[in-house]
Amino acid sequence: MSVLKEKAMILFAKIIFYIDAFLWLFTKRRKAETMKDVLELFYYDFLRIDKKDLEVVRLTDNLLITRARNPCPILKTAMRLGIDTRVMCREVSEPICKFVLLRLNPALIFYRNYSHIRPYTDSCEEIIIKAY
C-alpha cells in the first residue's frame, strides 16, 4: 500500500471514530467521578467492550489497568490494510480515547502500552491514571 493511501485510510478511520465519540458524548453527558465509573463508562459503554473480553489487571482510587481481548475494529482494519497496529492505534484510537476521557474527567491521563498490543501479544494493555 502506498504511503498516501495508508495516510488516507488512517485519516478516514480517525474521522469515523471521532464522529462516534462526539455522538456518544452528546447523548451521555456523564462524568466519571471514580475509576469504577471510568471502567463502566469508557470501556463498557463507549468502547462497547464485553466484560468477558476485558481483564481488569488493577483498579484503585486513581489507577486502572486493563487488557482487552475484544474483537477490535481498529485491529481488524489495521490487519486487513497491512498497517502496523502500533501506528493505527497511535494515530486513530489514542487521540480519541484521550479526548473522551478528558471529557469524562479532566484529571484522567491515558497511556497505551505499545509493548503489549495485539497482534504481537494476546491483548492490548491500557493504563488510566487519575492525576488529582
- CATH of residue 10: 3.30.1380
Q: Which SS3 state, helix, strand or coil, does residue 121 take?
A: coil
Strands 63-68 and 54-59: antiparallel
pTM of the model: 0.90
pLDDT in tens, 23-52: 999 998 789 999 999 999 999 999 999 999
Cα 61-99-125 angle, rounded to 5 deg: 55
Beta bridge partners of 59: 64
Cell 467492550 locates to: 49
CA 64 – CA 67 distance, rounded (Å)? 10
pLDDT in tens, 108-126: 999 999 999 999 999 999 9
Domain range enclosing 8: 3-130
Total structural domains within the chain: 1
In sign, the C-alpha dihedral spanning 80, 14, 31, 25 is negative
